[in-house]
């Protein structure tokens, strides 16, 4: 026999059908209203809250104990469900209440350091320190339930499609490529270290070589890089890989999951296939490789209008191979000098040297730079932007990437300020990413934009040596509402081609062997054509849950300094532990 009455019903599920039933609730006190002769408390459990009444008519002997109840006490309450004299239409259980005939206080609670029902009323610092209290909050519980739903859909979907779940190791070899590794010392091999995986990339390729055909895993990944609102040092990927596939096969499998998620989680039908937008177009129209296509403000290249311009900023940019591009901020002419300065600051953060602003008036264009433009140029701009009186044209002239990137950021900033972003979800694939990011200034070798196992478009092969920056990779991203939600590629499975890429990027045979030896070995034993993709699961849950903070969808997140305020990780360790590992701590010298 337990020492208390065990739950017969969940609080949040009680409805009028239960009236006159005898029920027992187990849960927490979520507020009390002690009227003296009559005491109301709300009992909260995993499903919601229900009102309990203590009345001298029903159980006079309980009144003293009931008056001791405080927020977050753990109770077992038994009583009869009755219709309320005064219903509360605001709450799901508002038509009924429980007349208590038995009360057991199972545990008392300190006064909570913040209000559990309303997260907005306390600082994130405090809430993270007392995460176990914040996790009692219904909004946060809802997000974790949503996350669980995503797990279930993922397991089902890939299982139905013939994928095999395989766990890959957490203690792996460190590779110097990519993000900074978290490293783990080996006791058995003093002075040597494991790394925690940034992703299971190489293992999943090896599984393909081993003939497993289709692999999937919900995998933890760790990257020791600085954080953002949508980035945590450890995060979760839905990681998958497929054999004997081309890009289109992976994209179709991927959009299938997205449609299934939106259907099962939100009840929304997603129209397939999703748009496939080339990288070049995404950058040109939206100034981003993860465009938010839910609103306009698209970029326009206007360089061709200024071939003969007197305006030094523009002619200089064109002379050095730069780009002049801009957007029409519809109705933006009302912006004050101060607001324009803020927008200018914004583009400067992304490396732009400045922002040319031109207000559209009845007479033409007005603004600091307008006097440098001749009539032809003014008319050309008005036409290109379909500008009307009251609009403001915002133009950046700079090195192409900087120009597009800063305008892309400006576009988002204006959309946020002007509340132009609809609530709906919008998704697309960005494809045809460039194979290389830049030509290294020192070595003169191209720097791969992805990992060096990414294959290139067959028709671009001839440009590998002559114009490497024009070579397109078989790499793709899934973008939802301006978030990069998944990314992947078709891999190189041919040792000869792999060798050629290593050559091209300036990796000697020895270096390649040192870094990726076991994968290169494996490639020699009959690697099938293969490719895959990995979703950022946390970001998917963020979008599905309508939050812009990744910490809201992770049960125990870290701060932007990568510490856990609840358990105070990271921490110093015992000197003996270090000795055993052969590790000494260097004094940090401040300059």
109 binds RNA, rule: CB under 7 A:
no
Helix/strand/coil for 226: coil
Residue from the set 227, 463, 520, 522 that interacts with RNA by CB under 7 A:
227
Lay out the site mask for RNA across 331-350 (x = CB under 7 A, - = otherwise). Answer: ------------------xx
Minimum CB separation of residue 90 from RNA in Å reads: 6
Residue from the set 26, 78, 168, 201 that interacts with RNA by CB under 7 A:
201
Residue from the set 19, 38, 420, 566 that interacts with RNA by CB under 7 A:
38
57 binds RNA, rule: CB under 7 A:
yes
Minimum CB separation of residue 489 from RNA in Å reads: 10
160 binds RNA, rule: CB under 7 A:
no
Query: What span, in angstroms and rounded, lies between the C-alpha atoms of 118 and 384?
Result: 49
Question: Computed from CA positions of residues 215, 218, 222, 227, in that sequence, does the dihedral angle turn out positive or negative?
Answer: positive
Minimum CB separation of residue 190 from RNA in Å reads: 28
556 binds RNA, rule: CB under 7 A:
no
- The tokens of 298 are what? 């698209």
Helix/strand/coil for 205: helix
For the range 63-68, what are the long-range contacts, defined as Cβ-Cβ under 8 Å and sequence gap of 24 or more?
Answer: 63/39, 65/103, 65/105, 66/39, 66/41, 66/100, 66/103, 67/34, 67/39, 68/105
Which value, in Å, is the radius of gyration of the alpha carbons in the chain?
30
Lay out the site mask for RNA across 243-282 (x = CB under 7 A, - = otherwise). Answer: ----------------------------------------
DSSP 553: G
Helix (H) or strand (E) holding 203: helix 201-209
Minimum CB separation of residue 444 from RNA in Å reads: 18
Minimum CB separation of residue 103 from RNA in Å reads: 16
Closer to RNA by CB, 61 or 580: give it.
Answer: 61
Closer to RNA by CB, 31 or 528: give it.
Answer: 31
Which range of residues in 32-40, 155-163, 242-250, 364-372 is near RNA by CB under 7 A?
32-40
Query: What span, in angstroms and rounded, lies between the C-alpha atoms of 11 and 122?
Result: 27
Enumerate residues 521-550 that contact RNA by CB under 7 A: 549
Nearest residue to 302 (alpha-carbon basis) of 402, 403, 220, 205: 403
Which range of residues in 38-46, 132-140, 369-377, 575-583 is near RNA by CB under 7 A?
38-46
The H helix count followed by the E strand count for the chain is: 16, 22
Residue from the set 22, 37, 106, 583 that interacts with RNA by CB under 7 A:
37
How would DSSP label each residue in 463-527?
HHHH-GGGPBBSEEEEEETTEEEEEEEEBP--HHHHHHHHHHTT--HHHHHHHHHHHHHHHTTTP
Which range of residues in 248-256, 268-276, 368-376, 559-567 is near RNA by CB under 7 A?
559-567
Characterize 395-411 residue by residue with b for buried, 16 or more Cβ atoms within 10 angstroms of its Cβ, and e for exposed: bbbbbbebbbbbbbbbb
Q: H/E/C letters for each residue in 240-253?
A: EEEECCCHHHHHHH
Minimum CB separation of residue 228 from RNA in Å reads: 4
Which range of residues in 108-116, 250-258, 299-307, 491-499 is near RNA by CB under 7 A?
108-116
Q: H/E/C letters for each residue in 340-372?
A: HHHHHHHHHHCCCCCCEEEEEECCEEECCCHHH
105 binds RNA, rule: CB under 7 A:
no
Neighbours of 53 (CB within 10 A): 21
Minimum CB separation of residue 84 from RNA in Å reads: 4
553 binds RNA, rule: CB under 7 A:
no
448 binds RNA, rule: CB under 7 A:
yes
Minimum CB separation of residue 377 from RNA in Å reads: 31
Closer to RNA by CB, 226 or 388: give it.
Answer: 226
Query: What span, in angstroms and rounded, lies between the C-alpha atoms of 455 and 472?
Result: 9
Minimum CB separation of residue 161 from RNA in Å reads: 24
Closer to RNA by CB, 66 or 394: give it.
Answer: 66
Closer to RNA by CB, 299 or 373: give it.
Answer: 299
40 binds RNA, rule: CB under 7 A:
yes
35 binds RNA, rule: CB under 7 A:
yes
- CA distances in angstroms from 405 to 291, 347, 481, listed in the order given: 11, 9, 17
DSSP 120: G
Residue from the set 231, 276, 417, 500 that interacts with RNA by CB under 7 A:
231
**What φ, ψ does residue 498 adopt, rounded to 5°?**
-60, -40
Chain residues in the site for RNA (CB under 7 A): 31, 33-38, 40, 42, 51, 53, 55-57, 70-71, 84-88, 90-91, 94, 97, 111, 113-115, 121-126, 128, 177-180, 198-199, 201, 223, 225-231, 349-351, 405, 409, 437, 447-452, 549, 551, 559-561, 563, 565
């Amino acid at each position: 026999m337990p020492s208390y009455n065990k739950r017969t019903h969940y609080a949040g599920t009680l409805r009028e059908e239960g009236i006159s039933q005898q029920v027992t609730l187990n849960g927490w006190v979520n507020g009390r209203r002690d009227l003296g002769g009559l005491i109301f408390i709300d009992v909260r459990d995993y499903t919601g809250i229900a009102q309990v009444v203590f009345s001298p008519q029903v159980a006079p002997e309980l009144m003293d104990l009931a008056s001791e109840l405080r927020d977050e006490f753990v109770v077992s309450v038994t009583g009869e469900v009755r219709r309320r004299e005064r219903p509360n239409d605001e709450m799901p259980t508002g038509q009924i209440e429980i007349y208590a005939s038995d009360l057991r206080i199972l545990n008392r609670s300190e006064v909570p350091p913040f209000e559990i029902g309303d997260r907005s009323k306390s600082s994130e610092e405090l809430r993270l320190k007392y995460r176990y209290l914040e996790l009692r909050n219904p909004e946060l519980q809802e997000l974790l339930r949503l996350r669980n739903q995503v797990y279930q859909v993922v397991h089902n979907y890939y299982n139905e499609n013939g994928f095999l779940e395989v766990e890959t190791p957490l203690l792996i070899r460190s590779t110097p490529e990519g993000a900074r590794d978290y490293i783990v010392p080996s006791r058995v091999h003093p002075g040597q270290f494991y790394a925690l995986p940034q992703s299971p990339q190489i293992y999943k390729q090896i599984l393909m070589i081993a003939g497993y055909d289709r692999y999937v895993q919900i995998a933890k990944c760790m990257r020791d890089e600085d954080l953002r609102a949508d980035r945590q040092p450890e995060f979760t990927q839905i990681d998958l890989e497929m054999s004997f596939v081309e890009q289109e096969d992976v994209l179709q499998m991927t959009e299938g999951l997205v449609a299934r998620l939106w259907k099962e989680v939100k009840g929304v039908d997603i129209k397939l296939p999703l748009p496939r937008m080339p990288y070049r177009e995404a950058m040109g129209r939206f100034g981003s490789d993860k465009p938010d296509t839910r609103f306009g403000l698209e970029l326009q290249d206007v360089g061709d209008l200024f071939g003969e311009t007197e305006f030094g900023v523009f002619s200089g940019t064109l002379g050095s191979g730069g780009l002049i591009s801009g957007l029409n901020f519809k109705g933006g002419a009302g912006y004050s000098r101060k607001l324009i300065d803020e927008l200018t600051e914004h583009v400067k953060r992304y490396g732009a040297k400045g922002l040319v602003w031109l207000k559209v008036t009845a007479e033409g264009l007005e603004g600091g730079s307008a006097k440098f433009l001749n009539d032809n140029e003014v008319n050309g701009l008005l036409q290109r932007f379909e500008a009307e009186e009251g609009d403001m044209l915002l133009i950046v002239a700079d090195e192409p990437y900087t120009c597009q990137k800063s305008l892309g950021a400006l576009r988002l900033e204006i959309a946020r300020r002007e509340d132009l972003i609809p609530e709906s979800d919008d998704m697309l694939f960005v494809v045809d990413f460039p194979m290389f990011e830049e030509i290294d200034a020192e070595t003169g070798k191209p720097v791969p934009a992805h990992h060096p196992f990414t294959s290139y478009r067959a028709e671009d092969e001839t440009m590998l040596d002559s114009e490497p920056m024009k070579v397109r990779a078989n790499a793709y991203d899934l973008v939802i509402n301006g978030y990069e939600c998944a990314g992947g590629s078709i891999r190189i499975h041919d040792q000869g081609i792999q060798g050629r890429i290593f050559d091209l990027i300036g990796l000697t045979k020895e270096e390649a062997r040192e870094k990726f030896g076991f994968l290169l070995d494996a490639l020699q034993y009959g690697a099938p054509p293969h490719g895959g993709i990995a979703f950022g699961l946390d970001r998917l849950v963020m979008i599905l849950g309508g939050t812009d903070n990744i910490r809201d969808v992770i049960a125990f997140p870290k701060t932007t300094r990568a510490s856990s305020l609840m358990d105070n990780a990271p921490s110093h360790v015992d000197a003996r532990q270090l000795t055993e590992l052969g590790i000494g701590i260097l004094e940090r010298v401040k300059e």
